Amino acid sequence: STMGYIWNTLYGWTDTGSGGLLPPSTDSLTQPIGHHVAHPDTKRRMHELISASGLIDSLKQIDAAPAAEADILRVHDQSHYDRILAESALPKGGDAGDGVSPFGHGGHRIAMLAAGGAIEAVRTVVEGQVSNAYALINPPGHHAERSTGRGFCTFNNGAVAAAYARDVLGLKRVAIVDWDVHHGNGAQDIFGGTAEVLNISVHQDRCFPSDSGFREERGHGEGFGYTLNVPLPPGGGSGAYEYAFDTVVLPAVRAYKPDLIIVASGFDASIMDPLARMMMRSEGFRSLVRKLVDLAAEVSQGRLVCLQEGGYSPIYVPFCGLAVIEEMAGVSTGTQDAYTPILGAMGGDKLLEHEREAIDLASVLVSDIH
Ligand SMILES: O=C(CCC1CCCC1)NO
Ligand SMILES: [Zn+2]
């Protein structure tokens, strides 16, 4: 049946301030600039390509509804929720929690709509209204921990959706596959003690947060073995990612047999991204989601939900997103990634020995998943 798609105009209205990454300062001589790396235009442009390519006509558009406070409190402390609500009421807004994640006045409303979009995507897939879904939500969520936001993330949209699937939709097991280039520390913090969520993160080693995402971090108590980190050396492209998926991610999810697969779908592993040093292109992301579509058909009745996370190249994120959504919908619009001839010449597609070695060290972790 038809694939679900979520976008909302307000996702394009987040206020990331006048800094580029850090706020402007005459002390540190960090100049103001038109667009912060996390400016919402990048994700709005992705939505525009989904529309202009005609792909949107093959999708069932799902309306995002704001999450309820109770939905957030399944995975976040009351104190975190209350602080975001309070700072959102300030004239200039506030910060998600780490001092480099600004949001504007009313940012709480957009963050609730992002979490609510994740919930709606999961609900419509689990209820069988759509075959699978892509929620182009903003602000992102995968760095947000139980008691704080981090890395541009206010509430952990993926964790909110996974907890909703378990507690409200009655699912027993949810797998989160995080291919955002940065470590999915949020789900690790929130679900590290339970086996009811398998949390897998494939990320550039020590990129962000620089002190987490190591193979040794495996969860605790009943959750031991159900956090799986696959750190990759910088410079990896489709060769490294496809090998990581074939030898670690797919076997782990196959062993876990989840009722639902949620993807933390960031495109900042792309060769054009300013916030990491990997070399993925749109075809590489297409190949990864192809693997997950086939895996979902095998283990989770096709239930697969992608939630937008990072991705900071306004030029290239749209083409990565188009490739992923085309593949999930089983639709080809005939749109070629115009950048492939140029970017494809730069390398990254070949699996290198040091990448293979790093990934082989993680594949042994799969044996503890039952
Ligand atoms: O895309 C992101 C944000 C990473 C940045 C947060 C501050 C510096 C790096 N996380 O997935
Ligand atoms: Zn990221």
Q: What is the 3-state secondary structure (H, E, C) of the chain?
A: CCEEEECCHHHHHCCCCCCCCCCCECCCCECCCCCCCCCCHHHHHHHHHHHHCCHHHHEEECCCCCCCHHHHHCCCCHHHHHHHHHHHCCCCCEECCCCCCEECCCHHHHHHHHHHHHHHHHHHHHCCCCCCEEECCCCCCCCCECCECECCECCCHHHHHHHHHHHCCCCCCEEEEECCCCCCHHHHHHHCCCCCEEEEEEEECCCCCCCCCCCCCCCCHHHCCCEEEEEECCCCCHHHHHHHHHHHHHHHHHHHCCCEEEEEECCCCECCCCCCCCCECHHHHHHHHHHHHHHHHHHCCCCEEEEECCCCCCCCHHHHHHHHHHHHHCCCCCCCCCCHHHHHHHCCCCCCHHHHHHHHHHHHHHHHCC
Task: Please tell me the predicted confidence (pLDDT) of residue 258.
Answer: 98
What percent of the chain is predicted at pLDDT more than 90?
100
| Share above pLDDT 70 across residues of the chain, in percent, rounded to a whole number | 100
Would the pLDDT of 279 be above 90? yes
**62-100: pLDDT as tens digits:** 999 999 999 999 999 999 999 999 999 999 999 999 999
**C-beta 182 within 6 A of ligand 1:** yes
Please give the distance, rounded to the nearest whole angstrom, from the Cα atom of residue 120 to the centre of ligand 2. 23
For residue 118, the model assigns a pLDDT of 99
213 and 178 Cβ atoms separated by less than 8 Å = no
Is the model's pLDDT at 288 over the cut of 90?
A: yes
**Can you give the pLDDT at residue 180?**
99
Of all protein residues, whose CA lies closest to atom 6 belonging to ligand 1?
151
Q: Residue 57 C-alpha to ligand 1 middle, in angstroms? A: 32
Q: Measured in angstroms, how far is the CA atom of residue 1 from the centroid of ligand 2?
A: 31
Nearest CA to ligand 1 atom 3: 151
Q: Which residues pair with 150 in a beta bridge?
A: 153
What local confidence, expressed as pLDDT, does residue 305 receive?
A: 99
Residue 233 and residue 251: Cα distance in Å, rounded?
21
First CA to last CA distance, the chain: 31
Report how far Cα 157 is from the mean position of its chain's Cα atoms.
9
Q: Read off the pLDDT of each residue in 277-301 and give the average, rounded to a whole number.
A: 98
Q: Is the CB of 183 under 6 A from ligand 1?
A: no
Closest residue by Cα to residue 252 from 287, 206, 218, 214: 218
Ligand 1 atom 1, closest CA? 310
The mean pLDDT value of the chain amounts to 98
pLDDT tens per residue, range 108-155:
999 999 999 999 999 999 999 999 999 999 999 999 999 999 999 999
Ligand at minimal distance from the CA of 208 is 1
Q: What is the pLDDT of residues 231-267, one digit of tens each?
A: 999 999 999 999 999 999 999 999 999 999 999 999 9
Return the higher-pLDDT residue of 228 and 1: 228
pLDDT digits (tens, 9 = 90+) for 207-233: 999 999 999 999 999 999 999 999 999
- Residue 220 bears catalytic tag: no
Confidence of residue 1 (pLDDT cuts 50, 70, 90): confident
With the most atoms of ligand 1 within 8 angstroms of its CB, the residue from 101, 148, 152, 156 to mutate is 152
> CA separation (Å) from 317 to 42, 44, 291?
7, 10, 20
Asked whether 19 lines ligand 1 (CB < 6 A), one says no
The identity of residue 261, as a single letter, is I
Residues 308-348 pLDDT 10s: 999 999 999 999 999 999 999 999 999 999 999 999 999 99
Overall pTM > 0.95: yes
- Candidate of 30, 183, 203, 208 to mutate for ligand 1, largest count of ligand atoms within 8 Å of Cβ: 208
Task: Give all domains of the chain, ordered by start, each with its CATH number.
Answer: 3-14+37-64+109-368 (3.40.800.20)
Q: How many CB atoms lie within 10 A of CB 220?
A: 12
Looking only at Cα atoms, what is the longest distance across the chain? 57
Q: Rounded to the nearest whole angstrom, what is the distance from the C-alpha of residue 243 to the centroid of ligand 1?
A: 24
Q: How far is the CA of 302 from the centre of ligand 1 (A)?
A: 30
